[in-house]
Amino acid sequence: MKTVAFGDVQSLVGEEVGVSDWVHIDQDRVNQFAEATGDHQWIHVDVERATKELGGPIAHGYLTLSLIPMLTGSMMNIEGVTRGINYGCNKVRFTNMVPVGSKVRARQKLKEVNEKAGGLQMINEVTIEIEGQERPACVAETISVIYQ
C-alpha cells in the first residue's frame, strides 16, 4: 500500500496508485447483487440457460463497477484524512463481459487533484481487469473528495 501525506497527494498525479488483489466472481455474489438491485436478467442468474446460450452466466456491469471501492480501498493510505466521499463518475465504459467463475482486479491511476469544498477532489482512472484476458471489463473515471 502506498502512503502519502494529505498535502502531498498532488505529487502523485499521473502515477499508477496501485493494483489490487484478484477477487473471485462467483454465482452467489452475482445472485446477491441481483437481489439487491432487482436485476434478475437471465444472462446473470439463470445458470442453465446462460450456459446453454452464452457458455455461462456473466456478472452485471454495475456489479463490476460497484467493486471499485473495495478493490481500490487498500491501494493508498492518505495520512491526515478524516473522511472521504464518492462524488461520482465522469465516464464509465463496460468493455468486456465478466464470466461467473473468473477473477477481477483493479488498476488505478490518479489523473487530477483539485481543491474543492474545503477538501481535495481526486479524479482517478480505474481499470477493472479480468484474469487471463486482454480487454478489461470496465474503465471508469471516478471522482472522490477527501477532507483533513
pLDDT of amino acid 74:
86
Q: Is the domain defined by 2-147 classed in CATH 3.10.129.10? A: yes
Contact assessment for residue 16 and residue 76, using Cβ atoms and an 8 Å cutoff = no
3-state helix, strand, coil in the chain (%, to 5): 30, 45, 30
How many CA within 13 A on the CB side of residue 96? Answer: 18
pLDDT of amino acid 105:
97
**In the chain, domain spans:** 2-147
Cell 452485471 belongs to which residue? Answer: 60
Single pTM value for the model: 0.89
pLDDT of amino acid 143:
97
Contact assessment for residue 2 and residue 77, using Cβ atoms and an 8 Å cutoff = yes
Q: Which residues contact 91 (CB under 8 A, 6 or more apart)?
A: 139, 140, 141
Q: How many residues does the chain have?
A: 148
Query: Measured in whole angstroms, how far is the alpha carbon of residue 120 from the centre of its chain?
Result: 20
pLDDT of amino acid 4:
85
Q: What averages of pLDDT result for each successive group of 10 residues across the chain (148 residues)?
A: 87 94 97 96 95 95 95 90 93 96 97 92 97 97 95
pLDDT of amino acid 1:
79
pLDDT of amino acid 2:
84
Q: DSSP letter string over 24-63?
A: E--HHHHHHHHHHHT---HHHH-HHHHHHHHSS-B--HHH
